Amino acid sequence: MLPLRKGKASRKAQMSTVIDIISRLRAMDGQFRPAEAEVARIVLEDPFFAGRASIAELAERAGVSQPSVTRFCRALGCDSLRDFKFKLAQNLAVGTNYLKQPERLDDDVAHLAQRVTGCILDGIALARDQLDHQAVRQAIEIIAEARRLDIYGVGGASHGVGMDAYFRFFRLDIPTAFYGDSHLQRMSASTLGQGDAVVAICNSGFIREILESAEIAQQYGAKVIAVTKPETPLARLADVAVLVNVPEDPDIFKPTASRIAQIAIMDVIATGVAVKRGALVHEKLRRIRHNLIPVHAISGTPAPRARESETNTKSNRRKRTRS
């Protein structure tokens, strides 16, 4: 975090790092002077050109004077064209696919289903083919013997994968917890020790909060299993790195391919842990299934035993009626 500094200029410089210039530009639609509006139109039509163009090139394409380009930048709260291009570059760096006009999908549901499920199947197949079996085997052994398992995931995709993994592992007679908050992750890591394990899920492998929590856990003797991309800080830090490198589809409306692939890999690990822990897990799963039966009855769907008993009762009534 940047240190606080006094002075209006310093505060403005700090705030400029978080300005979404594209959103500000769209919000000001109708507020520009005619010449400035032409510059705004050119920027929105081709932000990549605007990000690399000189003031002369931008003015020429918009059909306005160079001072009009400068006034456009100042109307957005930027000191100069250079300042505007810096803020625009931040938008382009993190949201390129979201600035393109999305492809219009076919209204045919069958075609839509084929495209989406095909993307999911391709991602899972790619993850399967690149899977390091030795790393998966090591992850299974560590978790199967763990005294306690904590799962970390920050952000939408990793949070979802982490929660799904939690639902799998807590049923396997392993004390398991999932933490999606960075502060809770640090607190959790501080309480771990020898015999404990952490599964750190991070597709990019660069999230500072995950890295710091993993380092804390290792400091106290816990083993860290990373589910991430190869050649990343998290992969290098982990005791065992299960690498998943599935490129995202440029279509922003499709499901996140890496998330689906990571869930599939976690299912592989969870199944291996269940097999390795054997009879103890079998008993816990039997208990869970047994105690879910009343839920079916409450929801209006007779439990298997209830349906069987009801059938036998009706049969006995028919026999007594005939007699």
Q: What is the DSSP string of 224-275?
A: EEEEE-SSSHHHHHSSEEEE---PPPS-TTS--HHHHHHHHHHHHHHHHHHH
Rounded average pLDDT over 53-68: 93
The packing angle between helices 208-219 and 182-190, to 10°, is 10
Q: For position 295, what pLDDT does the model report? A: 63
Q: How confident is residue 190, by pLDDT bands cut at 50, 70 and 90?
A: very high
Kindly tell me if the per-residue pLDDT of 86 is higher than 70: yes
Residue 88: both structure tokens together: 């625009």
- What confidence tens digit (pLDDT) does each residue in 122-160 have? 889 999 999 999 999 999 999 999 999 999 998 878 999
Would you call 33 helix, strand, or coil by DSSP? Answer: coil
* Structural domains of the chain, ranges and CATH numbers in brackets: 8-99 (1.10.10.10), 132-277 (3.40.50.10490), 281-322 (no CATH)
Whether residue 10 has pLDDT greater than 50: no
Please determine, for residue 192, whether its predicted confidence score (pLDDT) is greater than 50: yes
| Interatomic CA distance for residues 36 and 78, integer angstroms | 14
Q: Once rounded to an integer, what is the mean pLDDT over residues 225-247?
A: 94
pLDDT tens digits, one per residue of 264-320:
999 999 999 999 998 888 888 889 888 887 765 555 555 555 455 555 555 666 655
As a whole number, mean pLDDT of residues 40-69 equals 91
